[in-house]
Amino acid sequence: MKLVLMVVLLIIGFAALIKGADIFVDGSAGLAKAFRVPGVIIGLTIVAMGTSAPELAVSTSAALKGSNEIALSNVIGSNIFNILMVLGICALINPIPVDKDIIKRDFPICIGVTLLLLFGSCFDTIRSIFTGGVKGIDTEAQAGDVSQILAFIFLAIFVIYIIVLIISAGKEKSEEEEIKSLPVWKCLVFIAVGLALVVAGGEAVVRSAQYIARAAHMSETLIGLTIIALGTSLPELVTSIVASRKGENGLAVGNVVGSCIFNILLILGVSCAIQPLKVNMASLMDLFILTAICLLGYVFCRGKKIGFIHGLIFVLIYIADMAYAVIR
């Protein structure tokens, strides 16, 4: 009976995360418009942070509770899902054009911060290999950690990245996007309610996921990589699918790449600044897979369009990766 209640709590938590992020974005965008902040900057910063709010809430809550596997695997799983499933499904609906700035600036940054995370996580393992300390692969054995020093490096890079985006956006001349006008007081209420729902939803998701993992004899790494990652990535998935159906699928790549960058720099930065995250061998292997996926995505994007075949390859790789995660 308690297991059923926890599943219901998990679903309610996901619903609160998604609705809270949506309300937070509406309030923030309305407030930014009231102070005459350009729409393009809103999209690159506030909206991107809003859609990453579920991951931030879950990973931060997990870090505070000492659930390192959930905090890290949530980010890894979300990034894998974003690239393979969000881009894949959108490409299956309509071919996705790729902006040149994504190819030259954002995707290389995404690959770079993923490599930085990978190196920081496996440093201890590499040292152990050379000193003869590693005799075999144990998925639950500790491979290394994401230290607080690396967390502050992530946060510093995040600040620099946002500044670069704002400067770049300021140089571009584009039409203002239509954003629903709201009174300032209502924007503040939306922001407060949205944040409250996101925080409460993150707490509910972590608590219920931990219980389900133990009851089903699943590792926190697996449940974070699959169920939680899928749930917290729903805002990006829904937004990108709606955009594709409306013929605005050029936004999909920017949303996905930006979210992946935010997930590593902001979410892991905040989570690891609170408490260093221990990395087990399973998460380390997932990081290698994520790095390979990022490189593949970059190769596809260099063709300036992600087509149906690319989308099909992405979806099939995701299915294979999830099967591997469950089997191991």
What is the DSSP code (8-state) at residue 275? S
pLDDT per position as a tens digit, 1-32: 788 888 888 889 888 877 877 787 677 767 76
At 64 the three-state DSSP class reads helix
Q: What distances in angstroms separate CA 104 from CA 15, 26, 47, 301, one per listed residue?
A: 36, 30, 22, 10
Q: List, in order of start, the domains of the chain with CATH numbers.
A: 2-327 (1.20.1420.30)
Of 327, 246, 253, which is closest to residue 285 (Cα–Cα)?
327
pLDDT per position as a tens digit, 135-159: 444 455 555 677 888 999 999 999 9
CB 277 within 8 A of CB 68: yes
* Residue that wins the pLDDT comparison between 276 and 213: 276
Of 53, 28, 83, 110, which is closest to residue 231 (Cα–Cα)?
53
What is the DSSP code (8-state) at residue 233? T
Q: From CA 169, how far away is CA 216, in angstroms rounded?
A: 48
Q: Is the pTM of this model over 0.85?
A: no
pLDDT per position as a tens digit, 93-137: 888 888 788 888 889 999 999 999 998 877 655 555 445 554 444
Where are any strands of DSSP class E within the chain?
96-97, 142-146, 277-280, 305-306
At 280 the three-state DSSP class reads strand
At 86 the three-state DSSP class reads helix
What is the DSSP code (8-state) at residue 26? H
Of 285, 327, 277, which is closest to residue 137 (Cα–Cα)?
285
Of 319, 52, 75, 74, which is closest to residue 162 (Cα–Cα)?
52
Buried b (16+ CB within 10 A) or exposed e, 51-80: bbbbbbbbbbbbbeeebbbbbbbbbbbbbb
Q: From CA 104, how far away is CA 172, in angstroms rounded?
A: 16
pLDDT of 277 strictly over 70:
yes
Indicate the helix (H) or strand (E) that contains 246.
none
Q: From CA 243, how far away is CA 97, in angstroms rounded?
A: 13
pLDDT per position as a tens digit, 219-259: 767 777 777 777 777 766 766 676 666 665 556 677 788 88
Q: From CA 69, how far away is CA 34, in angstroms rounded?
A: 41
Cβ-based burial of 85 (10 A; exposed 0-12, middle 13-18, buried ≥19): buried
